[in-house]
Amino acid sequence: MNIKELIVAMKIRPQMFVFPVRVDYIYYYLMGFAASQNRNNPDDVDLAFKNDFYHWAYNWIIKNKDSQYELNAAFWYHMFQDVTKEENEAVELFFKLSEEFFGKFHYDEQNKNN
């Protein structure tokens, strides 16, 4: 299982993974998963998420949510909490952006090989 598959499963039934469902709990769960995968040869999607999601999400927020948002968050979940009013909105935004991130990742991978 890679991180994309895990996030897709979490989106369907988040309470199976974290309770209560909070974006910071999701973050820590995923970082634990990523740390365990580093020892077992992570695939490209795992590395892309680990290395690029934070800045990609920041750029998305600047472009689509708050053009004045200043990056002062240590972890990506802080950004989602900063630009939403309620925790459930932060969780929804995370799942939405992770889906977009992986879509762009796969699109870029296909075009890189063509």
C-alpha 84, offset from chain centre = 15
Cα separations in angstroms, 97 against 75, 76, 82, 113: 15, 11, 15, 24
pLDDT higher at 33 or 23: 23
CB neighbours of 80 closer than 8 A, spacing ≥ 6?
23, 57, 90, 91, 93, 94, 97
Q: How many residues does the chain have?
A: 114
Residue 89 — pLDDT band, cuts 50, 70, 90?
very high
- What CA–CA distance (Å, rounded) separates 18 from 29? 8
List pLDDT tens digits, range 29-88. 999 998 886 666 778 899 899 999 999 999 999 999 999 999 887 899 999 999 999 999
List pLDDT tens digits, range 48-65. 999 999 999 999 999 999
